[in-house]
Amino acid sequence: MSPGHVANGSGVSYVIRKSKPVAAAVSILLIAIALTAFLPVTVSVFAYAFVEARHRRAWTGLAPATVRVGVGPYRAVDIVPSRLLRAPLLVRAASLGCFYWSWFSILAWVTVGIAAADRLPIEPLVVLGVAVAVCVGRAGIRLLRRDPRAVASGRRVAIATAAHATLVVLLGFGLGGADWGALAAVFGVVSVGQAAFLALAVRDHAPLFAPSRDREPAVRALPSWLARMLARRAQSACR
């Protein structure tokens, strides 16, 4: 009888297939991610709520920009909206995404380092991934604090996150094959999406992060369709 076979009582032989090391490592990684899926959510939500409540005062004292309603020299009017009660929704959503992705990335990279350290030389990539994850979390904190450095640092973190995700995808398919490459592709897509979300938040609300002494009373023009609708309502009310 060959070493790769074993016989039962009826004389039927079964082939014992040795599992591939890469498949076993991927299975361990998936199980670890499934078991710790709710841990980053819990930690990130509580951390976000704590930081947002603590630094909400930085947004409540912020004077919003004047909104111009109407078109033309005689129909245009400037309206001053009410003061902000908290950070804008896009800023809060981007900050929560930074909190979650930072915690999840740290757990994922530690798990990858433990599962694949004996098979792939990825220690430098794991250290780099943890460093990028920490920077992503710091960017989320700066958004909620209305830190003047949040815009510049958010752009740098978004670029670094996208570059790191590209590197992970290339190395995943180049060194790990299809098994690790699929996981790297999923990680890369989510990382690039989170980086784009962060870049969008700092781009759309960049004037709000400037120091109070440097902020000038900006005048924002409404979209033409909204301006015409409000102008018609104002004319009908005057009649």
Digit-coded pLDDT (tens) for 163-184: 999 998 888 887 767 777 788 8
Residue 220 lies in a domain: no
- Measured torsion, CA atoms of residues 42, 47, 195, 207, in degrees rounded to the nearest 10: 150
Residue 239 lies in a domain: no
Residue 49: in which H helix or E strand, if any?
A: helix 38-54
The pLDDT tens digits of the residues spanning 69-120 come to 555 555 555 555 556 678 888 999 999 999 999 988 888 888 877 776 666 6
In this prediction, residues 215-220 reach a mean pLDDT of: 45
Residue 7 pairs in a beta bridge with 13
Distance CA 163, CA 157 (A): 10
* pLDDT band at residue 7 using 50, 70 and 90 as cut-offs: very low
Tell me phi and psi for residue 170, to 5 degrees: -65, -45
Please give the mean pLDDT across all residues of the chain. Answer: 75
pLDDT value of residue 218: 43
Residue 2 lies in a domain: no
Residue 77 lies in a domain: no
The pLDDT tens digits of the residues spanning 184-208 come to 888 899 999 999 999 999 998 888 8
Residue 131 lies in a domain: yes
* pLDDT band at residue 122 using 50, 70 and 90 as cut-offs: confident
Range of the structural domain that residue 50 is part of: 21-64+86-215
pLDDT value of residue 17: 47
Distance CA 120, CA 126 (A): 11
Distance CA 52, CA 30 (A): 32
Domains contained in the chain, number: 1
Given a contact cutoff of 8 angstroms between Cβ atoms, the answer to whether 204 and 51 are in contact is: no
Specify the pTM: 0.65
Given a contact cutoff of 8 angstroms between Cβ atoms, the answer to whether 50 and 62 are in contact is: no
Residue 221 lies in a domain: no
Residue 231 lies in a domain: no
AA letter at 136: V
Least confident of 6-15, 25-34, 167-176: 6-15
Q: Is the pLDDT of residue 126 over 80?
A: yes
Residue 133 lies in a domain: yes
Given a contact cutoff of 8 angstroms between Cβ atoms, the answer to whether 98 and 39 are in contact is: no
In the chain, what percentage of residues exceed pLDDT 90?
26
Q: Running DSSP on this structure, what letter comes out for residue 81?
A: P
In this prediction, residues 221-228 reach a mean pLDDT of: 60
Distance CA 197, CA 161 (A): 12
Tokens of 121: 């030389």
